[in-house]
Structure 1
């Protein structure tokens, strides 16, 4: 569930529209970060990424029968998980924090079935708790919530199994509620104002359009709503008044005269929807104390010429705190087509002659704008040992989004000389960009001479995850749960996991990182994952088997698609496999992870490991 900022790009495809997220997933990225491209400049913050599902209808509750406690709640239907989610968005910088809770569910234990992310038809059960499939949710004119449910064991858009085509509509309201929609006469101003106040979006649209058609005659009636205790009704009045001509705009008041940030935003948006010139107001609001107001100003500069936009965007940039990604993305969006000019202005004022002395705020701005003029400075930052790994990686990522020979040459240098993880990341970028943005840079001869990649000279080795051994003793989940685990001993045990997992800054990235992995999971779930790794393979960490033309077998996590492939095997060994060396490729039906028995762990070891993981 995401707050959709105006013009926002959520990374469904690469910028050229040619590649899916899987093709661009970088080493070390989680599925959520890669699928929503959260490490890429120009991509909006994703919001609440809750995993697999099948999202359907949603509604924002502004007023009605549920009462003030629910005002400002966003309801989202999720039939794949048999639930209606509820969010009460809280402003967080220029964006919003979305804390999810279950508002209405048939399946509080989360034992879902019949969804694509669970295997579709193969996961269907007859459990009644899995049949609630909310397809839509709406607020009625009586102020109650209405939820439609198509009642089916299957969900996901690819199949339905309910031949009876049964369904239901549920009304959600306080106890003792009597459904009665307020009557109104659309031929009168009073009736249209009543409609505009309606909890139901379709009814208030009748009021909005009817009052708009009355023009100047409706101004006084609509202006009366500016004093309503409900901010959403005040906002409806603000948007409508700006549609009612000069008198309505005068009664609404200019954006910079509004006391509340939310009303400054509403008035500024209303000005834009009325096709009024916002330039003068933007000059003032670009320096507003509220980052949400500044966000709106930045976004409004997207289609403005440089002479208008640059001074305003520079004011917004001066107030970027170096951490607010929504603020940064709004700034970058407003600079669309003007990135180079804005970078020049900001570099002179906010940058430093020495790129290593850049503030975090300006380094982030350079990353977001990623202009050719910044390539040399970004290359210096990526190579600088005195910067943190994160700072160097960010500079490297910015280089990857610059279509210039200076940028591609700098990336080749990093692939040749950067320390371990950064070298692998730079190599990945060079090989990824060979077939798209840097295809015409003539990099392949240089990669050969620098010893980075020569498809004719690649030496490969077999890497196979051992098959489960039925002769090994089995450990039951119940045996582990019956034991007291000691975190201190578990810290020694976890070393065996680092062949495939990263934890505390060490280890390979073949499976999910273990820092924070155990949080929110029961001991039973953790024990099952350790004892029976084939039972449920983490999303995005399924293994691949590559068979080569010369008879080698390589099993591991595929970290780069295309030609060449990159695959990381147990122990963190990464190999680059030219397409012409691949004779067969298939998904593994089992996990890349060895079981506790294969690792020589006892039930007590597993209990200790669980105790340690809970401290991370």
Structure 2
């Protein structure tokens, strides 16, 4: 089977190669002369390199040209450009070969290439292999720094050195190791050289931890082990260190897949972060140093789907816990996507709108764009401006962007029918484009660092590799270049050139404090920000600096002063923090989070100083926010007083209840108990939420508490809070109310929760009685029970389907629900094969089992029902993509086949990735591969596990959230099962996609074509 597939692939590429050679011989000008336009090209012709540029739309004032393509290079994952203007590429022919054993591979490993345009015509004409072996398969990052090249490829970061200048690596050393995410996009990413002479980099949430070159766990400068265990860091992180890996810092944490960090001349950091697929939560972040960015719960590590007080009302916001105190706000949310490489463009060749701004590659939407920012209080706002976008070629997948020494923009194009999801559809193509006002030639500026003036000129270059060499040369010369650098700092009309000179001046022995003070008094706000960043790096006495700016009109400067007070043990620090806190306006969330970061580990003293200064006037909008954000013991009674304020509607201010979750002082228990009784107009609401925040572990159940629970249960009937109270306090006597919710509640999730609790509370007799009552009630109730793997629920459903006194439609529904889940499919198959299933239910069971997502059960069912292997006669994808489909019919096929696991525009079951914009992420080829061969690519976060628990139950699904005590597992049908970790006997990865492998085996070929037609049109509406 694999041999046949390989032969078809080889034939296909032979055909393409022939067309490439023919068109290259004919030439683009000939094509133009004979009147061929893009609309008349076949799909194969459109994807030829010489037609690539015609598929792209570029911003006004710019042009785009193809710099390099296959067969010179393929599958570029990352890129850098050296001081000579040469393009360095990390290839990924061996992409995910551990997951794709049928893919061809290079036994000698992937390559690092150097592409060069030797004649200046704007096209690469030579290609060299700098390094190749299996240790760099699908490397995700490359940084060229003189004769040293940093390659990021989990579990390693390598330092490759070209000792003799022959463009071949002579030495390979480990810089870091032990990093999670081998062959994974959420792993270690590219390194960037900062203006301060340090390395900046990040890893996504598959990174887990990092070891040094000797295999020892890296500890940051504060002594913390660098791992994602929550002590104190979680998920993806941003790092800074010296060139040798020392002085390691974690600058921010709790990202999902922060792909590449970009650093500007002032030392500001910017990056993107990907959401869980399909949730329209992709974001751009300004990095507030030492901030928590909210992908998981800061305290418990629970995922964003986990129920919590004051839960955000929309998924893109909910996704990042943005209602929680201690979460830094997002600069910009861009919707769906699969973001990759990013840079800060500090040149002047591109139009003004892109100068000094982020430039970002977004392969999920086939686009490269910029996010021009404006200062807004202590933070920023941003907009989206497109630079290059694909018109009609969905294979355009920009994986990285870089700036050449002449200021032009280069784009690496992965070129593939899909992006992400552990999948690759094409191994033989890849491109590099160049963007500039004029792309007819490529002239690299002459480069030298032989003299100080040459080095300073090179320091002003927009290319990072050039700046690195200049920085290194000037730094090595020490005080001999001080006057020249001072001249740049004092006289240049470009603040970014001044900043670069400033950073070097701060490194001069014994001069750092002088130049920090000089910059701190500069008229330029950004240089003053840089002064604080440099002062922190130099470990200067920060108190005098903070004193100078404590009343500064600029919130950006005060933000940096706050970060400077973080972990500062001076006796003056609390008073200074209080003064800065007094200037919070009650609106600027960036400033509020800077206050929180500043007070870390010193909340009690900092908060006390503020409260003393505020006195009785603390209860303002700004003051209440500071109380909400605080982790001080003294904030707890103030939270209670805010909640009890009769002028404040507690239901509209649930954030103050949520704030209790972030306090660890034992006194919070008594304060919450004090909220159970009061005279507030909305006291019932206060009582309910106070009960939900109490720690029940060692709670003495007094009559007051019992009465409070009873009142709250009565007041919250039919709501999620009612169910939460029952679960938290293990209340067993509300089965009639639970039955009502399971039957009548309009919220699917709450209906299922109520049904589960009802069965767990021995409410089976009530269920049986209700099922016999009337068909509509029975159908609803059986549907609510169907999402559970609980053995008691399965027994109940089995008793219903076997009971011939119940309406047949209800029994058929019970059969469908009984066959849900890992154990359900097995139990239904056993009933069928043992011929114990009533004959009138055989056809229902047959439909369920032939579509079982457990491949072993599906195989058994096909054999039992004599169905053979199903439809395996589909034509190759290369043929299918040429067939015309009917989108309306495809929508029907989606509803019938796919909506049991996927949503489109809020219709369907929320189990697999949301497909509302799937047409932007995958071209038709990628969609066909995903539908026909789901095992070939599994979206990150949707990997299945089989859990066996102490009661003998087995649960199959993917982990949506986990805390220290619990796992939440989402199962087929969208139901979530919470499992105590202490009850888990075994946890094994599921060897298949949770999307059924035989999904389309019962479909006709045209129905599959129609389905793809519908899916391919699902894109973001402009």
> Normalization by structure 2: what TM-score?
0.42
Deviation at 1:291?
Answer: 0.4
Report the equivalent of 1:175. Answer: 438
1:328 paired residue number:
592
The equivalent of 1:299 in structure 2 is 563
CA contact (8 A) 2:372 2:383 kept: yes
Write the distance in 1 (CA, Å) between the matches of 2:456 and 2:480: 13
Distance 1:246 1:29, change over 3 A: same
1:29 Cα shift? 2.7
Identify the residue that residue 5 of structure 1 maps to in structure 2.
288
**Counterparts of 1:340-489 in structure 2 under 5 Å?**
340-352=604-616, 358-389=619-650, 392-408=653-669, 410-411=671-672, 431=692, 438=695, 440-442=697-699, 450-451=709-710, 452-453=725-726, 454-455=729-730, 456-459=732-735, 460-461=738-739, 462-463=742-743
Unaligned runs of 5+ in 1: 108-127, 467-527, 545-557, 566-575, 581-586, 590-616
Q: How does 1:514-525 map to 2 (within 5 A)?
A: none
Q: State the Cα distance separating 1:83 from its structure 2 match.
A: 1.6
1:220 alignment partner in structure 2: 483
Question: Distance in 2 between the 1:106 and 1:444 partners?
Answer: 64
Match of 2:379 in 1: 95
* 2:401 alignment partner, one of 137, 149, 152: 137
Partners in 2 of 1:578 and 1:246 — Cα distance? 59
1:85 aligns with 369
> Any idea what the Cα deviations from partners look like across 1:321-350, whole Å, max 9, x if unmatched?
111111111111111111111111111221
Change in Cα spacing, 1:563 to 1:58, as seen in structure 2 (3 Å) is: closer
Task: Give 3-state SS (helix, strand or coil) of 1:376's partner.
Answer: helix
**Which secondary structure state, in structure 1, belongs to the residue aligned with residue 350 of structure 2?**
coil
Q: Matches of 1:150 and 1:347 in 2, distance apart?
A: 56
Does the 8 Å contact 1:24/1:560 carry over to 2?
A: no
The match for 1:592 is none
The aligned counterpart of 1:44 is 328
> SS where residue 634 of structure 2 aligns?
helix
Contact 1:31 1:540 in 2 (8 A): no
| 1:212–1:240 CA contact under 8 A, matched in 2 | yes
Aligned to 1:23: 306
Contact residue 75 and residue 86 of structure 1 kept, 8 A: yes
Deviation at 1:536, TM superposition (A): 4.6
Closer, same or farther in 2 for the Cα pair 1:253/1:448, shift >3 Å? closer
SS at 1:172 equivalent: strand
Residue equivalent to 1:469: none
State yes or no: 1:268 paired with 2:532. yes
CA distance in 1 between counterparts of 2:345 and 2:626 reads: 36
Q: Give the Cα separation in 2 of the matches to 1:89 and 1:216.
A: 36
What SS does structure 1 have at the residue aligned with 2:334?
coil
Aligned length: 474
The answer (yes or no) to whether the contact 2:340–2:360 under 8 Å persists in 1 is yes
**Residues 223 and 577 of structure 1: CA distance in aligned 2, closer, same or farther (over 3 Å):** closer
Residue 447 of structure 2: which of 145, 161, 184 is its match?
184
Q: 1 CA distance for matches of 2:498 and 2:440?
A: 26
Structure 1 residue 541, shift from structure 2 partner:
9.4
TM-score when normalising by structure 1: 0.68
Q: What is the distance in 2 between the residues matched to 1:76 and 1:48?
A: 13
Q: Give the greater-gyration-radius structure (CA).
A: 2
Q: SS state of the match for residue 333, structure 2? A: coil
CA distance in 2, matches of 1:64, 1:379: 55
Shift of 1:426: 7.5
Change (3 A) 1:421 1:152: farther
CA contact (8 A) 1:42 1:329 kept: yes
* Gaps in structure 2 of 5+ consecutive residues: 1-283, 711-724, 747-890, 912-959, 969-975, 981-993, 997-1022
Alpha-carbon distance change, 539 to 2 in structure 1, aligned in 2, over 3 angstroms: farther
Shift of residue 159 of structure 1? 0.7
- Give the distance between the partners of 2:602 and 2:651, measured in 1 at CA: 27
Does the 8 A contact of 1:78 with 1:84 survive in 2? yes
CA distance in 1 between counterparts of 2:907 and 2:566 reads: 36
Q: How far does residue 17 in structure 1 lie from its aligned partner after superposition?
A: 5.3
* 1:25 and 1:560 in contact (8 A); partners too: no
The 1:158–1:423 alpha-carbon spacing in structure 2 relative to 1, beyond 3 Å, is farther
Give the aligned partner of residue 278 of structure 1. 542
Q: Is the 8 A contact 1:411 1:426 kept in 2?
A: no
Higher strand share: 2
Equivalent in the alignment of 2:12: none
Q: Structure 1's 278 and 372: CA in aligned 2 closer, same or farther, altered over 3 A?
A: closer
Is 1:201 matched up with 2:477?
Answer: no
Structure 2 counterpart SS, 1:233: helix
Q: What is the CA-CA distance between 1:28 and the residue it aligns to?
A: 5.0
Q: Report the 3-state secondary structure (helix = DSSP H, G, I; strand = E; otherwise coil) of the residue aligned with 1:132.
A: coil
Q: What does residue range 496-575 of structure 1 map to in structure 2 within 5 Å?
A: 536-538=903-905, 542=909
- Cα separation, partners in 2 of 1:421 and 1:102, compared to 1, 3 Å: farther
Contact 1:186 1:207 in 2 (8 A): yes
